[in-house]
Amino acid sequence: MSPKIRVAIFGSGTGSNAKNLIQHFAHHANVEVSWVLSNKPQALILQHATDAKIPTRIITKEDQANCSTLISELRERKIDWIVLAGYLWKIPAELCAEFPNKIINIHPALLPKYGGKGMYGHFVHEAVNAANEKESGITIHFVNEHYDEGNIIFQAKCSIDENDGPEGIEKKVRALEIAHFPHIVESTILL
C-alpha cells in the first residue's frame, strides 16, 4: 500500500475550516493531515489540532524572514501539500518555489475582487457590503508569491439580501466554506 499523501494546514484564527478538514480526512484512505502550523500561539486552530492528536508548530517572524528551517522541517515530515485555512501571513517566495501548485488557499470572496493585502476575514465582508454587491462567495485557489493571485480551482456563490450586512454575508460565506473546502482539497490533491 502506498503511503498516505501528507498535508500541512497553516492558519491564524478560530480554525473552523481547519477543524472541518481534520474531520474530513480523519479516516481517509489516501490523505492525512500531518501537521498544523500557526503564526499565532493562542490561535484556536492549534487546539483543534491537539485535540485530534496532530502535531503543531508556531511560525515565527524569523521563519517569515528566512524560511529555510521551516522548509527543512516540511521535508523531514514529508509534507506533500500545504492548505491555508485562514492564514494571514504572506507565503514567502522560497516556500512557494518548494511547493509549486501544491499550496491551496481559501478566500472568502469572489476573486479577483476583494483580494490582496489586508483583505481577510471580516474586512472582506465589510468591503463587499459597502460596495452594495448583490453576490459574494468563496474562491479556492493555488497560491503563488502574490496575495490572492494564483490560479483559481473553484468558486461558489451566494446571493446577498439588502439587510444581510457584513455579519449576514459572513454567515453565508462560511456555510459555503464548510460545504465545499474539504471536497475541493481532496479532489485537487487526488487529481
11 touches ligand GAR by CB under 6 A: yes
Q: Pairing mode, if any, of strands 56-58 and 135-142?
A: unpaired
Residue closer to ligand GAR, measured from CB, 23 or 68: 23
Tell which one of 79, 85, 103, 128 touches ligand GAR (CB under 6 A): 85
Q: Which stretch binds ligand GAR (CB under 6 A): 12-20, 47-55, 57-65, 91-99?
A: 12-20
Q: Which stretch binds ligand GAR (CB under 6 A): 9-17, 32-40, 51-59, 61-69?
A: 9-17
Active site (annotated) includes residue 146: no
User: CA 151: distance to chain centroid?
Assistant: 15
Residue closer to ligand GAR, measured from CB, 80 or 149: 149
Whole-angstrom CA distances from 25 to 6, 84, 113, 181, 182 are 11, 15, 31, 12, 8
Size of the site for ligand GAR (CB under 6 A): 17
120 touches ligand GAR by CB under 6 A: yes
Taking the C-alpha atoms of residue 131 and residue 156, their distance in angstroms, rounded to an integer, is 19
Sequence-separated (6 or more) residues with CB below 8 Å from residue 174: 16, 108
Q: Pairing mode, if any, of strands 135-142 and 103-107?
A: antiparallel
First to last CA, the chain: 18
Q: How many other C-beta atoms lie within 10 A of the C-beta of residue 149?
A: 15
Which residue is catalytic, options 24, 28, 48, 107? 107
Taking the C-alpha atoms of residue 10 and residue 18, their distance in angstroms, rounded to an integer, is 8
Name the minimum Å distance from CB 102 to ligand GAR. 18
Tell which one of 5, 16, 128, 189 touches ligand GAR (CB under 6 A): 16
Name the minimum Å distance from CB 184 to ligand GAR. 13
Amino acid in position 166: P
Pattern 87-106, ligand GAR, x by CB under 6 A: -------------------x
The catalytic residue positions are 107
Q: For binding to ligand GAR (CB under 6 A), which residues are involved?
A: 11, 13-18, 85-86, 106-108, 120-121, 124, 174, 177
